[in-house]
Each structure stands twice: as structure tokens, then as C-alpha cells.
């Protein structure tokens, strides 16, 4: 068929050029052959499959033909959908996917089965491009957490690259997620082992059974840190549900393998070269009863040089690095969120709170439970403080810089409180930098 989707993807395409690349005969032939239960091929890779089937004597003919028919119908449907979306200018939307993974169940055991579908997006970081090298097939929940890991790690990488000028300087990033939210995160410009060690001690209890993503090669030293660094008393080794990395050193998987394959090891070399272009820019669909919601993706990156960013006081360069890190984590955690970072390490993530002050209190409690000093840390809030109480709790605990948004009727009171306590407060307008996520 004519390259319709490729034409639509061009920035300079026109209605005339799209119509010119809209095939009629090809889809008609495919659907006619499908209706007639012929041997219909819509993909060059089908040729080898069909030839081998013919040589084998056409086994299970009905099932084989039906699979080709379904593929042809799906291919035409995807082709026609692209045309409808383009010409509809927002009135029509949808997606066509091919099942590539069947899970035993969805989020819960009674939701049987679950599945992952490939939409052939061409994205090197698409979930179907993560290769399972050892362990059980990922579960539905693993896939959900993998998607959330990607959101957070790409935001971190994009944020750091934005502040590097012409020279790429994305640090070594170690990230752990549990139930979609970061429960461990750290970075190191020079040493992946240090990043890993700081990540696992962020919340040694919550990381149990979590999913870990790294943007660096997993050596035996990194594996040792994942398994045993700061291990709670009574545990022989840290149990993780999965490790996702660009690559693994020989022998690492054997070191970290769990009984019955309960730790998954997934590779994607693209993780080693994350940048601003790694952000997911595809529209985000969400099923709701009787339909679906559609919105642009989460692509806001904090720029400390943004003229819209108002600084009430000046944080140190050291604290500004932590601010960037905290904001990226905060904006990819379930709202409302307050995120605490100290010395390049997540020490408290107060996620999913209905009152912002609760987010502050939860983040501080997590830091305290994990024996982290809050004195000298920074805090990120995914939206404005409606009252002074939330920022007051942070400052009284020892927070030394805060990044938030502005739009509250009590902005002046929040600003005044921070200034009185010599705590730099960075505010970006809420309409530009609000970090609501996961509703």
C-alpha cells in the first residue's frame, strides 16, 4: 500500500499530499482476499511463513488462513484509522495493536488474562523492544511499572541534558519503582556503583519486590550493590521483581537469579544513551467507561534559565542539581506529591495525597523512618502550596530549597515565609509547570 502513515508523519504534509498517498486498490485487494479466505499476505515477512506452511502440507489450514485474514484486516484498519485521524482533525482517535505477550492475569488474579499489544510505534524505548534475557515473562503489573520507570528516568535524563549546554552529561541513574512510584532513586556523574548504593538505601523496605531500571551496564559490582548493600537485618539478599538495563555482564544474572525465575532481567541498549529526545511524545490514551480520554504526553522539563521561573533567593549549584532531580521524580509520581532529595538521592516521596500538607508530612515521615537526615535536603511540589502549612512543615524539618508552582491565593504568604527563613523558593507558573500525574 502507498506510504500513507509516512506522509502524514511529515511536518510539511498537506491534504493534497496525503490524498495522493492514500491507497484504495491495496486495501480493497487485501479485504477481498480476506473475505474470500484466500492466502492473503500484507507483510513481506509473511512470505517465508507461508512458503514453509505450504511445504509442510498446509497443516491446520483453517487456523492458519484465519490468522492471515485477521492480520490483513488489522493492517487495513490501521491504515484507514490513520486517514480518519488526519482528516478528522481531532474528531477521531484510536489504535490498533498486535498482541505480543499474554500475562496470566491483569492487576489481580481474577482479571484473567492480561496482555501487552504492540502498536508498531517505531519507538526504540517502546515496551515491546525490551528483550527478556532471563526469568519469567513480565506480569501485567511489571509492564505498568516498566512504563512508569521509563517516564521517570527519561524525565531525569532530559532534565540533566537540558542543563549541559552542548556537551551531553546525563549521569548514571539508578531508579526503583513500586506500584508506579519511585521508592529509590539516585544519580552519580562518575560511578554507577555509588548511584546504585544510594538508590537502594533510599527506602530499603519499600524496594523489596520492586522493579529497578538503570541507564548503565550492570557489572558484578553493581549487582552486588543491588543484592547486599545496606541489607536490612535478617535478609540474606535483596529480593527484586526485575532489573532493566542496557546490558548485563557475564555471570551477573546467575548472581541475581531468584527461585522459580521470579526476578526478570530485561535489556534495551537504548537506555545507555538517554537524552531529551527519549521523552515519550505520543498521545496518551486512557480507557474510561464507554470511551477513552486522550491527552498530550508528559513532556514538561524544568529549565532553571526559563524566564518564567521566579527565584525568591538563590539556591547553591549543589542544591539546584537536587532540585532538578526532585522535580523530575515529583512530576512522574501520583499526585499530590512532595519529593525530598538530598545529595543526589531520593530520601522521601510523599505521593498520592489529597492534601498537600499530607504530602509534606508523608515525605518527611518516610525520610525519618529510613534514617535520612532532612537537614540540607531540597523539596519539590508538583503544584502550588494552597496554604503555608505544607512548606512550613518542610522548612521546620531542615529543607534548604523548594521548587513549586505559583497560582495560589496564598502565594505571597508562602513566599514571605520562605524569605523569613532564608529558604530559596523557586516558582514556575502552574499553567506551565504543574506536575499532576497518574489521575
Dihedral (CA of 326, 176, 137, 131) sign: positive
The end-to-end CA distance of the chain, in Å, is 40
Residue 235: per-residue pLDDT: 86
CA 159 to chain centre: 14
Pairwise CA distance, residues 303 & 315, whole Å: 14
Integer Cα distance of 391 and 380 in angstroms: 10
Residue entry with cell 537526615: 373
Counting as low any pLDDT under 50, the low residues of the chain are none
Q: What is the pTM of this model?
A: 0.96
> With b meaning 16 or more CB within 10 Å and e meaning fewer, what string describes 320-345?
bbbbbbbbbbbbbbbbbbbbbbbebb
Q: What is the pLDDT of residue 233?
A: 83
Residue from 175, 105, 94 nearest 143 by CA: 105
- The per-residue pLDDT for range 121-139, each reduced to its tens digit, is 999 999 999 999 999 999 9
Residue whose C-alpha is closest to residue 342's, from 364, 357, 309, 314: 364
Helix, strand, coil percentages, rounded to 5, for the chain: 40, 20, 40
Q: Which domains does the chain have, with CATH numbers?
A: 4-96 (3.40.50.1380), 134-278 (3.40.140.20), 300-433 (3.40.140.20)
| pLDDT in the model for residue 362 | 99
Torsion angles phi and psi, residue 53, rounded to 5? -65, -40
User: 120-141: string of b/e by CB count within 10 Å (b at 16+)?
Assistant: eeebebbbbbbeeebbbebbbb
For the stretch 340-377, pLDDT in tens is: 999 999 999 999 999 999 999 999 999 999 999 999 99
> Which among 198, 227, 235 is positioned nearest to 346, based on CA atoms?
198
Residue 155's Cβ-side half-sphere holds a number of Cα atoms within 13 Å equal to 27
- Reported as type and span, the H/E element at residue 378 is strand 378-381
Amino acid at each position: 500500500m502507498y506510504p500513507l502513515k509516512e506522509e502524514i508523519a511529515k511536518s510539511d504534509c498537506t491534504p493534497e499530499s496525503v490524498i495522493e498517498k492514500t491507497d484504495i486498490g491495496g486495501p480493497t485487494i487485501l479485504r477481498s482476499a480476506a473475505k474470500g479466505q484466500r492466502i492473503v499476505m500484507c507483510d513481506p515477512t509473511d512470505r517465508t511463513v507461508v512458503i514453509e506452511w505450504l511445504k509442510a502440507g498446509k497443516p491446520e489450514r483453517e487456523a492458519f488462513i484465519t490468522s492471515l485474514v485477521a492480520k490483513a484486516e488489522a493492517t487495513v484498519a490501521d491504515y484507514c484509522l490513520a486517514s480518519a485521524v488526519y482528516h478528522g482533525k481531532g474528531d477521531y482517535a484510536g489504535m490498533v495493536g498486535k498482541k505480543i505477550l499474554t500475562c496470566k492475569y491483569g492487576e489481580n488474579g481474577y482479571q484473567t488474562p492480561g496482555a501487552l499489544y504492540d502498536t508498531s510505534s517505531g519507538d526504540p524505548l517502546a515496551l515491546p523492544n525490551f528483550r527478556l534475557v532471563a526469568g519469567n515473562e513480565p506480569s501485567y503489573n511489571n509492564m505498568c511499572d516498566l512504563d512508569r520507570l521509563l517516564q521517570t528516568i527519561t524525565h531525569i535524563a532530559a532534565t540533566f541534558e537540558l542543563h549541559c549546554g552542548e556537551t551531553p552529561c546525563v549521569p548514571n541513574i539508578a531508579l526503583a519503582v513500586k506500584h508506579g512510584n519511585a521508592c529509590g532513586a539516585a544519580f552519580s556523574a562518575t560511578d554507577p556503583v555509588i548511584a546504585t548504593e544510594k538508590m537502594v538505601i533510599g527506602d530499603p523496605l519499600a524496594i523489596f519486590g520492586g522493579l529497578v531500571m538503570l541507564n548503565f551496564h550492570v557489572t558484578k559490582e553493581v549487582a552486588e550493590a543491588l543484592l547486599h548493600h545496606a541489607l536490612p537485618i535478617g535478609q540474606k539478599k535483596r529480593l527484586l521483581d526485575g532489573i532493566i538495563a542496557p546490558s548485563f555482564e557475564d555471570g551477573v544474572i546467575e548472581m541475581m537469579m531468584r527461585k522459580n525465575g521470579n526476578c526478570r532481567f530485561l535489556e534495551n541498549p537504548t537506555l545507555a544513551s538517554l537524552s531529551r529526545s527519549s521523552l515519550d511524545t505520543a498521545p496518551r490514551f486512557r480507557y474510561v467507561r464507554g470511551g477513552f480520554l486522550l491527552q498530550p504526553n508528559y513532556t514538561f522539563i524544568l529549565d532553571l534559565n526559563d524566564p518564567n521561573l521566579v527565584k525568591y533567593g538563590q539556591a547553591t549549584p549543589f542544591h539546584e542539581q537536587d532540585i532538578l532531580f526532585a522535580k523530575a521524580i515529583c512530576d512522574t509520581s501520583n499526585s499530590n506529591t512532595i519529593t525530598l532529595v538530598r545529595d543526589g538521592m531520593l530520601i522521601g516521596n510523599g505521593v498520592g495525597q489529597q492534601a498537600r500538607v499530607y504530602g509534606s508530612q508523608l515525605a518527611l515521615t518516610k525520610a525519618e523512618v529510613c534514617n535520612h537526615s532532612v537537614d540540607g535536603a531540597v523539596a519539590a511540589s508538583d503544584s502550588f502550596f494552597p496554604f503555608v502549612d505544607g512548606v512550613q512543615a518542610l522548612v521546620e524539618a531542615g529543607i534548604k530549597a523548594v521548587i513549586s508552582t505559583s497560582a495560589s491565593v496564598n502565594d505571597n504568604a508562602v513566599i514571605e515565609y520562605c524569605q523569613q527563613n532564608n529558604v530559596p523558593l523557586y516558582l514556575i507558573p502552574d499553567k506551565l509547570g504543574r506536575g499532576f500525574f497518574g489521575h
